[in-house]
Amino acid sequence: MIIGSSPSLVSSPTQGADPFLHPALLYRDEAEYLAGTVPFIVDGLAADEPVAVSVPGPNLAKIRRELGSLASRVRLLDMTEAGRNPARILPGVLHAAADPFPDRHVRIIGEPIWATRTEHEYPACLQHEALINGAFRGRRVTILCPYDVTSLDPSVVADAHRTHPVLIEADGRHRLSDDYSPSQVIEATNVSLPEPAAERVRTVNFDITGLSAARRAAAEEASRAGLELERVDDVRLAVGELIANSVRHGAGSGTLRVWAEGHMLVAEVRDVGRICDPLAGRRPAPTDQLGGRGLLLVNHVADLARTHTGPDGTETRIYFRS
């Protein structure tokens, strides 16, 4: 269903009663990329709307070049850093751009998926794209997500149809996605994680009396894997938050497993608790809130976080580059 070819996404007739818009820009080359992104930015600036752009470095440089002096008025972030962990994008990029302006329309360009994302990262990226729709429902925010249809696998482009209600084709026309189904994507990405293939997996069972031993074991394995001292501290901190959550919400105990996988250190915490809110750890915590920042902190320091929760409990894996 074609709904128009106007470059203005803000006035798209698809918005209905919900002012939030989340279109996917399907581009094939640099010309189409710039044609789909730069006018979106310039129109926002002309309307005195806050604008943020977080895309991979090479694309960020292209946009910066095209904007010229206007670039100083745009929040520009390299997504390969800001969104290295996809679970960090909602609080650290999107909410950080939109929340300071609750009474204004905000425009954001976010490109969390590129061709060299790993097989471990991609499911987390897909889950993130689906979660955006619920996280910003009812907000005066437009989040435009570019997809390079020439370098991405066709299955990834098909997934973009499932996570974005509106698609912008190469000719600039907007159409409704017939496959839009974010709730199904969220369910489909909540799957059991494969067993580690590593020859050596260190396992520590813990309860409230064993938290220090579990943190120490994680730090020792991080050092063994060659992580720098600062990152060893990050591992200790993140694992500490996860195991504390297990004691608090997972019947008082759990299991920690740590192993090296390629150039990554992986730490996994399992317990019998369940996470019922898929946005847990992805909402910024109010400044006056006491506690409740554990998963936010984990997502902030880890290079990747994957979680599966089901009837038998929850497993959370965090990855750190060595």
The answer, yes or no, to whether residue 1 has pLDDT greater than 70, is no
Paired residues of 2 in beta bridges: 175
Residue 291 has pLDDT above 70, yes or no: no
Over residues 194-250, the pLDDT tens digits come to 999 899 999 999 999 999 999 999 999 999 999 999 999 999 999 999 999 999 988
Please say which residue of 128, 153, 188 terminates a domain.
188
Whether residue 193 lies inside any domain: the answer is no
79 and 117 inside one domain? yes
pTM value? 0.92
Query: Which helix (DSSP H) or strand (DSSP E) does residue 96 occupy?
Result: helix 96-98
Q: How many domains does the chain have?
A: 2
* Cα three-residue angle 17-20-24, rounded to 5 degrees: 125
Per-residue pLDDT, averaged over 135-158, amounts to 98
Residues 37 and 172 in one domain: yes
Residue 194 lies in a domain: no
Distance CA 256, CA 105 (A): 44
Looking at residue 269, what is its pLDDT?
98
Q: Answer yes or no: is 315 within a domain.
A: yes
> Which CATH number do you get for residue 216?
3.30.565.10
Q: Classify residue 114: in a domain, yes or no.
A: yes
DSSP calls for 197-233: --S--EEEEEETTSHHHHHHHHHHHHHHTT--HHHHH
User: pLDDT at residue 59 above 90?
Assistant: yes
What is the C-alpha separation between 211 and 221, in angstroms, rounded? 16
Calculated CA dihedral for residues 40, 46, 47, 49, nearest 10 degrees: 70
Q: Is residue 292 over pLDDT 80?
A: no
Among the three residues 161, 188, 215, which one is the final residue of a domain in this structure? 188
Let me know whether 69 and 163 are in one domain. yes
- pLDDT at residue 63, rounded to an integer: 98
Look up the domain containing 250 and give its range.
202-321
Position 100 scores a pLDDT of 97
The confidence score (pLDDT) of residue 4 equals 36
Do 115 and 233 lie in a common domain? no
165 and 277 in a common domain: no
In-domain check, residue 38: yes
Are residue 174 and residue 209 in the same domain, yes or no?
no
